[in-house]
Amino acid sequence: MENVYDIVIIGAGPGGLAAGLYAARAKMKTLILEKDKTGGQIVTTNEVANYPGSIQEATGPSLIARMVEQTEEFGAERKKDTVMDVDFTEKIKVIKGEKEEYKAKAVIIASGATPRPIGCPGEKKLTGKGVSYCATCDADFFTDLEVFVIGGGDSAVEEAMYLTKFARKVTIVHRRDELRAAKSIQDKAFKNEKINFMWDSVVEEIKGDGIVESVVFKNKKTEETTEYHADEEDGTFGIFPFVGYKPQSDVFKDKIELNEGGYVITDADMKTDVEGVFAAGDIRVKSLRQVVTATADGAIAAVAAEKYIENNF
């Protein structure tokens, strides 16, 4: 079939790149589409210490660079384009990009999920320099330092408890006067001597020259603002916003099955409810969103897509 790819992968994070590697290595005509920077969230991580086999001083960008090199070595094609619409109703799937239209026998959705930002001045500039959205990834950098966890849901409180293994003090900052987390999780947090609470408060601004040095809090009830400065000996501290994630799935609404949070529902082989459409990585309903699980998803999705093509074309 002329101008039809075997597999089009939407997203070039670890899941998409792993899928591209496995698909191209299986001699599938493979295209990886990415609307933004290659690598997804991991490129904002300065060190990747928990990915099996990471070399010393491995960074998010260096790990992604090696993944990209592997996909290119096996012949996967990469293009920068924003997917505006998809048509999965026919055997040949159609992906409508901002720049052009693509056709494929199988599609792997690996468009990821992005942390919802606080939305305050300084947050974006200091992301990866004291502001982190992944305790599992970055907790080690804040050993014996102070950290603030922003949020009051299950993930915020669970991540706060995880951070107590590293930080000397963890403060949960919540915009309300009680947590939204499950009662069992709350009970554990209240019993943890390292965890403190700042109620009815939001982050107004994060300040620092190349690294987080201070943060301005505002009390929602009194309207009073206070600025917390890093301990002089520490020089910095951590800010971990956990106010939710937004799956990049808007374009797939009503095209495939999503859960109430907008995540793609798949089976163990990464199959969606539409024949020939698979999903991998953070976009998928799953319990752990890490590089290692994204790459595993990508490999499984590519192998499943290859089998689907062999049986249907």
Dist. CA 286–CA 66, nearest whole Å: 26
Active site residue 134: yes
Q: Which structure tokens are listed for 157? A: 């409180």
Q: Which residue out of 36, 87, 120, 138 is catalytically annotated?
A: 138
Question: What are φ and ψ of residue 29, in 5° steps?
Answer: -75, 110
Q: Which residue out of 137, 144, 187, 234 is catalytically annotated?
A: 137
Dist. CA 307–CA 313, nearest whole Å: 10
CA end-to-end span of the chain, whole Å?
10
Contacts of 208 (CB under 8 A, 6+ apart): 122, 126, 129, 130, 214, 236
Active site residue 267: no
Q: Per-residue DSSP letters for 102-123?
A: EEEEEEEE---EEEPP---TTT
Active site residue 120: no
Q: Which residue out of 134, 140, 250, 269 is catalytically annotated?
A: 134
Q: Per-residue DSSP letters for 122-177?
A: TTTTTBTTTB-S-HHHHGGGGTTSEEEEE--SHHHHHHHHHHTTT-SEEEEE-SSS
Q: Which residues are known catalytic residues?
A: 134, 137-138
